[in-house]
């Protein structure tokens, strides 16, 4: 947001102006966030889950000393707490806690990466189309209408069958299909920014289009980006689990919360803990993301009255 | 306005073309192919399997298949016995002349296979849309008005909590509780199980509709309430609302006559896509509740690589989506007098 | 959904159609209810039948759940012994004679079987059905029978002559491979219009224990008792009808049965059997029937080089030499892997003990099962010894690496391969995970992946794989000769469309099968010894690691008259009565 090496006074002025608005808005937002206990709680829970998942190999391998792939069919469906398995064992006798943490890594990883990918595409296309309009705008619009007109489930099913299955291809598919909403949003925002004074003055002193887009417009999209990211990650975690249910998600033996939950449905009476934990983790994570998204929206909305 | 609609419809043609080409390309690129399942029966010799694929014409390059699907094959010679020799003119008229082909698995006209499911999907989708609006809109408005209150926090969580549960899990839990444990609702299906007599009118089988509607509506409740909350907050910050308040109008009046109405305007515009979008179906809900809808059909056709049915579903959904956009634009202009058709 | 248990079928169609309702002996008990007063049998199915035309039915759902109750078959099967019988109840053939050449069968048909519109079922129905199915223009699902049948002719109304393309002890079943349709319904209908005929959605002319009721696609279809059906236990059909609900999710389907929404449950997966057994113990209204199942899973090796897949035979029918697979080309490696896989643990983990080991490709219920051959024992030490002999020894990290002695790989190559199975099948996924872990214990790195079903089939057909976990279902009645030659013959090794995708064949095995099939008199006890030899050879050469056959189970609730045989749940359905609503 800050533009340190601004070369001309005029640009500096305009950056300064922008900065001031941004700073104060940002500070205001932080102040508002600090009062929003619900959002803070959600952030706390989410950060904890993320840290646990990201450090899964360390936690299970080094601290707990558990091999998450070690099977023992004669030790299946152990209830939580028995024989050193904190959350019990699954249908093949694998430790559920270790599997859940590793699965969280994959699930969160897929959702986060795919959301970032679609956000990057969405913001880039949104800014460009909003800024230039004309032919580019029309073509992208055509592309968006086309993509939105094909049932997305059909696209997901087909593409995940065409690409070899795995977390990587799933990220690609979800990322490449998920950007249209962001583009529309960003395009609208860019359109309104384009007419504002600081852009006009930047133009007047001969700033390049790219510079205007990246130094003036993009920073103002901060709140949109964060909100979209939070909601999208939540939605994508759910999409991942639905795809597993339909049989086109991440394939075993790679564990995700979605395929663990789908798999456990089959024997939820033998091992209720196998259904409850992945289900609860998905729900809590998604809920936190939704709440955070709303909270940040509230905090950043300049029009909202306190 | 008629001219505007006609123009939009003409603009939709290249989009439709793009959709069909893209879908056909992707569909035929999927591994296996429509005759893959013949591998299940070793009585079929390898030669018979290859001949079966040739008879369906699915061995040809995809542009050839696409053109045949589009234009039919009654103007050209085809290989009917799969021996690689062209025998006689084909019989299909192609999509452009209204012939969507026969489903490979159902061996019925694809359009008929799809058509049977449309009603069931609309029934479930409309019910869910209605519940979503009836619950989502008031929750959103009230929680915006009472921003920061306990109701706001509670509503914010409750509105999304069911939407945060994986839909198949939620469905199964509801089926187990209300169907198995309490035994008060059927465990899926659309109509009572009867030998004859077909499906009774919808008001006689609301018990079948209840659970899937609730599950499907969770998305709408979360979405509409979040949307309404945001747009109401925005409207509340507008000058005219501040003015109304300053003029001494009572809060209630301000919210109802000014704020809520204006906040609802954008909602009306995405009702168009929402209604036609129902045709996309809800594969997961339909699967867990054994609902005979379009979404389930679409998933099965993709898994079985039933090309004619896949394409029929794609076309119906695409037409619905494009119409939805047009309706939405018209609604927008009708509600907001600042916008004119050009 | 996608919990579909998919199998590869071996000689399946015949029995399902022909052996429908065959009461072996009149039951002495009183009828449980009057004609059509025995309530409605309600079952669930995860798939939708879609189409009820016998020529175009493409799913097991329309066949097993629908047509098998509504269409007459040619051959009768005794459900108690699973053998073909003359004048079997419910079947058309009273008697048959075989000509000298062993390929021409002349059947005498019964005269008391009628279509539901009163028209008699005659030999002309077969002749017409053959004419249609043998014509590629009709594009039926059954065109492939022309590989087995040369001609079908009605000599008169009740004399049918079927000429086959082969002779041998096992060819009788080929005479009934084709499902028929009532010829008179389709008079004047052009071949190309058969597919679109309304009969497909509403087969209103049938001949069986049930007639067609109505079909609601994606939802349910119903069958109604046909009181004109001649071969009933009590002189009439007891149940009012049978409904099959389409319940795509297998878990929901099971719960519907347990909650009493369904009263019959046929395809009970081995995973669910413990739960059903417990339910039957707790609730006397539920009855379960268990039997040695005929569906089995295997770990299949690719014996040929996946980098250079080749057909088994060239255009002239001469054998094509296959490059060996770098690892599995050496029989010792295959044997070692078979020893290193703990199948008992897999049965425990994948199906909770509801399965039985197999020593070979023959299921336990078959007449051909080797009486003394034990499955390969779990012996990880022995596996390591064999591997050392084959030139694979533990490296620094404990994982096995090839030495100079390895037959087809350079020294230093790690012993690692890719193992594929289909996604969405809990049982197979568990098998793969367990095998991966077990082989890791002895130092073999397995890259295990569960992939999309269609992708798996394509890779399997392309023969560009190392190993797969898939399954077969033995036919009914079992035809081990055909199934082994179909799955392990050079003619079925065609790149792009194979059932012998792993390229295993042994002329000795094929010769033994031939000898078994040409035994004088065709008595199974004379044929069996040849098949025992085949099983011994194949266990030594390990083209597959035979894993296990799942237990079979049927369940009903509040139903009288339920007395199934293995693979025959509904043979006496005409005598069933559902006692609760």
Q: What is the pLDDT of residues C406-421, one digit of tens each?
A: 999 999 999 999 999 9
Give the pLDDT score at B275: 67
Query: In which domain, by residue range, is A96 found?
Result: 27-58+84-299
Query: C3: distance to nearest CA of chain A, Å?
Result: 8
pLDDT band with cut points at 50, 70 and 90 for residue B3: confident
CATH number of C71-204: 3.90.76.10
Neighboring chain A residues of C3 at a CB cutoff of 8 Å = 266
Q: Is the pLDDT of residue B145 over 90?
A: no
Beta bridge partners of C265: C555
Distance CA A122, CA B329 (A): 22
- pLDDT at C2 (0 to 100): 27
Q: Cβ separation of A258 and B166 shorter than 8 Å?
A: yes
The first and second tokens of residue A103, run together, are 């699965």
**Which of A152, A241, A298 has its CB closest to that of B166?**
A241
Q: What is the mean pLDDT of chain C?
A: 89
Q: State how far the Cα of A168 lies from the Cα of B115, in Å rounded to an integer.
A: 37
Question: Choosing among A151, A173, A236, A305, which should be mutated to test the B contact, i.e. which has the most B CBs within 10 A?
Answer: A151
Element (H or E) spanning C134, and its range?
none
Mean pLDDT of A127-131: 88
C-beta atoms of B180 and C48 within 8 A:
no
CATH topology of domain C295-550: Dipeptide-binding Protein; domain 3 (3.10.105)
For residue A131, the domain's CATH number is 1.10.3720.10
pLDDT at C534 over 90: yes
pLDDT confidence bin for B80, thresholds 50/70/90: low
Contacts of C among chains (3+ CB pairs under 8 A):
A, B
**Inter-residue contact A231 to A241 (CB < 8 Å):** no
* Residue C6 confidence (pLDDT) above 80: no
- Say if residue A10's pLDDT is above 50: no
* Structural contact between residues A158 and B26, judged by C-beta atoms closer than 8 angstroms: yes
Q: Is B139 on the interface with A (CB under 8 A)?
A: no
Query: Domains in chain B, please, with CATH?
Result: 2-97 (no CATH), 110-335 (1.10.3720.10)
pLDDT in the model for residue C4: 27
Reduced to 3 states, what is the DSSP secondary structure of residue A76? coil
Check CB contact of C63 with chain B, cutoff 8 Å: no
Structural contact between residues B37 and C456, judged by C-beta atoms closer than 8 angstroms: no
Task: Quickly list DSSP for C371-433.
Answer: SSPPPPPP-HHHHHHHHHHTTEEE-TTS-EEE-TT-SSS-TT-B-EEEEEEETT-HHHHHHHH
Instruction: Map out the domains of chain C as residue ranges.
Output: 7-53+208-291+551-581, 71-204, 295-550
Write the DSSP string, B166-211.
-HHHHHHHHIIIIIIIS--S-SS-SS---SSS-PPPGGG-HHHHHH
Question: Structure tokens of A9?
Answer: 């006074």
> Model confidence over A251-286: pLDDT tens digits?
878 899 999 999 888 888 888 889 999 999 999 999
Q: What is the pLDDT of residue B43?
A: 80
Distance from CA of A72 to the nearest CA of B (A): 27
**Cβ C50–B105 below 8 Å, yes or no?**
yes
pLDDT range class, residue C97, cuts 50, 70, 90: very high
Provide the sign of the torsion angle of the four alpha carbons B39, B44, B50, B51, taken in this order: negative
Residues 6+ away with beta carbon under 8 Å from A75: A83, A89, A93
Q: What residues pair up with A89 in beta bridges, in sequence order?
A: A95
Question: Which residues make beta-bridge pairs with C470?
Answer: C298
Distance from C-alpha of C72 to C-alpha of A61, rounded to nearest angstrom: 63
Residues of C in contact with B179 (CB under 8 A): 255-256, 259, 261
pLDDT at C291 (0 to 100): 93
Interchain proximity C454–B30, CB inside 8 Å: yes
The minimum CA-CA distance between B85 and chain A, rounded to whole Å, is 31
- What local confidence, expressed as pLDDT, does residue A12 receive? 32
A35, A155, A279: residue with CB nearest B169: A279
- Residue C21: which pLDDT band, with cuts at 50, 70 and 90? very low
Q: Does domain C7-53+208-291+551-581 fall into CATH 3.40.190.10? A: yes
Give this prediction's pTM: 0.89
Least Cα separation, residue C397 to chain A (angstroms): 17
Q: Is the pLDDT of residue A49 over 90?
A: yes
Q: Copy the structure tokens of residue B99.
A: 């012939």
Res. B277 pLDDT band, cuts 50 70 90: low
Neighbours of chain A (3+ CB pairs under 8 A): B, C
**Whether A301 contacts chain C with CB within 8 A:** no
Report yes or no on A263 lying in a domain. yes
Please indicate if any CB of chain C lies within 8 Å of the CB of A200: no
Strand bridging mode B88-89 / C210-216: unpaired
pLDDT at residue A304, rounded to an integer: 54
At residue A15 the predicted structure's pLDDT band, cuts being 50, 70 and 90, is: very low
SS3 for A201-224, per residue?
HHHHCCCCHHHHHHHHHHHHHHHH
Taking the C-alpha atoms of residue C384 and residue C386, their distance in angstroms, rounded to an integer, is 5
What pLDDT is attached to residue A78? 87
**pLDDT tens column, C338-363:** 999 999 999 999 999 999 999 988 98
Instruction: Name, of B230-234, C96-100, C494-498, the range with top average pLDDT.
Output: C96-100
Instruction: Indicate yes or no: CB of C499 within 8 angstroms of CB of B39.
Output: yes
What Å distances lie between residue C227 and B166, C45, C232, C522, CA to CA? 49, 26, 9, 39
Query: Across residues C373-384, what is the average pLDDT?
Result: 95
What is the pLDDT averaged over residues C38-64? 88
Look over chain B and give the mean of its residue pLDDT values, rounded to a whole number: 83
């Amino acid at each position: 947001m800050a533009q340190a090496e601004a070369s001309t006074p005029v640009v500096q002025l305009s950056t300064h102006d922008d900065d001031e608005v941004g700073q104060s808005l940002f500070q205001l937002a932080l102040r508002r966030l600090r009062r929003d206990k619900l959002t803070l709680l959600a952030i706390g829970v989410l950060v904890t889950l993320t840290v646990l998942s990201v450090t899964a190999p360390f936690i299970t391998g080094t601290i707990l000393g558990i091999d998450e792939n070690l099977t023992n069919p004669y030790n299946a469906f152990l209830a939580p707490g028995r024989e050193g398995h904190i959350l019990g064992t699954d249908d093949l006798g694998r430790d559920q806690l270790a599997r859940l943490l590793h699965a969280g890594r994959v699930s969160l990883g897929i959702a986060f990466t795919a959301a970032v990918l679609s956000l990057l595409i969405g913001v880039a296309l949104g800014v460009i189309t909003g800024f230039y309009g004309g032919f580019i705008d029309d073509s992208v619009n055509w592309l968006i209408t086309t993509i939105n007109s094909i049932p997305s489930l059909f696209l997901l099913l087909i593409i995940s069958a065409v690409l070899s299955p795995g977390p990587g291809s799933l990220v690609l598919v979800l990322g490449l299909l998920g950007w249209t909403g962001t583009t529309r949003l960003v395009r609208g925002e860019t359109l309104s920014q384009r007419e504002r004074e600081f852009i006009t003055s930047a133009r007047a002193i001969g700033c390049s289009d790219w510079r205007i887009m990246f130094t003036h417009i993009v920073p103002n999209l901060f709140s949109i980006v964060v909100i979209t990211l939070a909601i999208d990650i939540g939605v994508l975690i759910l999409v991942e689990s639905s795809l597993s249910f339909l049989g086109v998600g991440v394939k075993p033996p790679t564990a995700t919360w979605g395929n663990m939950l789908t798999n456990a449905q089959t024997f939820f009476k033998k091992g209720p803990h196998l259904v409850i934990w992945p289900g609860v983790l998905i729900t809590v994570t998604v809920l936190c993301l939704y709440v955070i998204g709303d909270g940040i929206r509230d905090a950043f909305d300049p029009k909202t009255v306190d | 306005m008629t001219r505007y609609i006609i123009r939009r419809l003409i603009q939709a043609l290249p989009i439709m073309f793009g959709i069909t080409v893209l879908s056909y390309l992707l569909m035929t690129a999927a591994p296996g192919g429509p005759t893959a399942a013949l591998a299940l029966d070793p009585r079929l010799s390898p030669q018979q399997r290859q001949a079966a694929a040739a008879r369906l014409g699915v061995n040809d390059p995809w542009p050839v298949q696409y053109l045949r699907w589009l234009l039919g094959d009654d103007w050209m010679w085809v290989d009917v016995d799969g021996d690689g020799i062209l025998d006689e003119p084909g019989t299909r008229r192609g999509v452009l002349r209204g012939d969507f082909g026969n489903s490979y698995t159902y061996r019925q006209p694809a359009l008929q296979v799809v058509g049977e499911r449309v009603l069931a999907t609309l029934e479930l989708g409309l019910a869910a849309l209605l519940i979503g609006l009836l619950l989502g809109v008031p929750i959103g408005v009230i929680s915006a008005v009472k921003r920061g209150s306990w109701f706001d926090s509670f509503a914010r969580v409750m509105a999304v909590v069911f939407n945060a549960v994986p839909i198949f899990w939620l469905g199964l839990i509801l089926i187990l509780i209300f169907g198995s444990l309490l035994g008060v609702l059927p465990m899926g299906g659309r109509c009572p199980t009867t030998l004859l007599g077909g499906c009774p009118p919808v008001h006689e089988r609301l018990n079948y509709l209840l659970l899937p509607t609730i599950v499907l509506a969770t998305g709408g409740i979360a979405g509409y309430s979040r949307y309404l909350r945001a747009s109401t907050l925005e409207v509340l910050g507008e000058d005219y609302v501040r003015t109304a308040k300053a003029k001494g109008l009572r809060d209630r009046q301000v919210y109802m006559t000014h704020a809520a109405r204006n906040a609802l305007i954008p909602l009306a515009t995405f009702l168009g896509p929402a209604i036609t979008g129902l045709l996309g179906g809800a594969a997961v809900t339909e699967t867990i509740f054994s609902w005979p809808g379009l979404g389930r059909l679409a998933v099965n056709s993709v898994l079985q690589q039933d090309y004619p049915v896949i394409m029929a579903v794609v076309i119906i959904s695409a037409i619905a989506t494009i119409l939805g956009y047009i309706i939405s634009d018209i609604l927008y202009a009708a509600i907001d007098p600042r916008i004119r058709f050009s | 959904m996608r919990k579909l248990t998919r199998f590869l079928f071996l000689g399946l169609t015949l029995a399902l159609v022909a052996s429908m309702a065959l009461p072996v002996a009149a039951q002495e008990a009183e009828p449980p209810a009057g004609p059509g007063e025995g309530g409605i049998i309600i079952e669930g199915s995860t798939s939708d039948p879609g189409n009820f035309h016998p020529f175009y039915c493409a799913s097991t759902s329309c066949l097993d759940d629908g047509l098998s109750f509504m269409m007459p078959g040619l051959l009768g099967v005794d459900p108690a012994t699973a053998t073909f019988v003359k004048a079997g109840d419910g079947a058309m053939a009273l008697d048959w004679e075989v000509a000298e050449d062993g390929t021409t069968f002349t059947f005498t048909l019964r005269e008391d079987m009628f279509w539901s519109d009163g028209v008699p079922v005659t030999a002309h129905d077969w002749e017409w059905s053959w004419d249609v199915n043998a014509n590629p223009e009709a594009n039926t699902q059954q065109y492939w029978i022309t590989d087995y049948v040369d001609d079908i002719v009605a000599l008169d109304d009740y004399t049918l002559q079927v000429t086959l393309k082969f002779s041998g002890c096992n060819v009788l079943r080929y005479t009934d491979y084709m499902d028929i349709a009532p010829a008179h319904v389709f008079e004047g209908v052009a071949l190309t219009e058969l597919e679109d005929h309304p009969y497909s959605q509403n087969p209103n002319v049938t001949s069986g224990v049930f007639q067609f009721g109505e079909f609601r696609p994606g939802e349910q279809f119903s069958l109604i008792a046909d009181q004109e059906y001649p071969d009933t236990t009590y002189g009439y059909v007891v149940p009012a009808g049978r409904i099959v609900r389409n319940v795509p999710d297998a878990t929901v389907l099971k719960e519907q049965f347990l909650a009493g929404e369904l009263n019959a449950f046929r395809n009970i997966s081995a995973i669910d059997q413990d739960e059903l057994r417990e339910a039957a113990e707790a609730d006397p209204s539920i009855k379960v029937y268990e039997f040695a199942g005929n569906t089995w899973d295997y770990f299949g090796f690719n014996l040929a080089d996946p980098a250079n897949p080749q057909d088994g035979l060239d255009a002239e029918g001469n054998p094509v030499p296959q490059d060996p697979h770098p690892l599995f080309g050496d029989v010792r490696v295959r044997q070692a892997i078979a020893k290193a896989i703990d199948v008992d643990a897999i049965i425990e983990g994948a199906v909770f003990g509801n399965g039985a080991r197999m020593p070979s490709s023959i299921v336990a219920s078959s007449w051909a099962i080797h009486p003394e051959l034990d499955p390969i024992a779990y012996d990880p030490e022995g596996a390591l010894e064999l591997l050392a002999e084959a030139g694979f020894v533990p490296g620094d990290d404990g994982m096995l690496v090839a030495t100079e002695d390895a037959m087809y790989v350079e020294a230093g190559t790690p012993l690692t391969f890719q193992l594929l199975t289909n996604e969405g099948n809990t049982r197979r996924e568990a098998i793969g995970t367990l095998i991966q872990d077990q082989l890791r214990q002895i130092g073999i790195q397995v890259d295990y992946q569960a992939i999309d079903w269609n992708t798996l089939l394509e890779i399997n057909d392309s023969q560009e794989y190392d190993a797969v976990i898939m399954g077969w279902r033995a036919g009914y009645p079992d035809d081990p000769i055909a199934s082994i030659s179909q799955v392990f013959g050079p003619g079925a090794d065609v790149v792009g469309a194979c059932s012998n995708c792993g390229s295993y064949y042994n002329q000795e095995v094929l010769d033994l099968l031939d000898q078994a099939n040409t035994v004088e008199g065709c008595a199974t006890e004379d044929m069996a010894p040849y098949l025992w030899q085949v099983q011994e050879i194949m266990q030594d050469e390990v083209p597959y690691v035979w894993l296990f056959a799942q237990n079979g189970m049927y369940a009903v609730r509040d139903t009288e008259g339920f007395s199934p045989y293995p693979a025959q749940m509904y043979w006496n359905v005409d005598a069933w009565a559902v006692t609760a609503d």
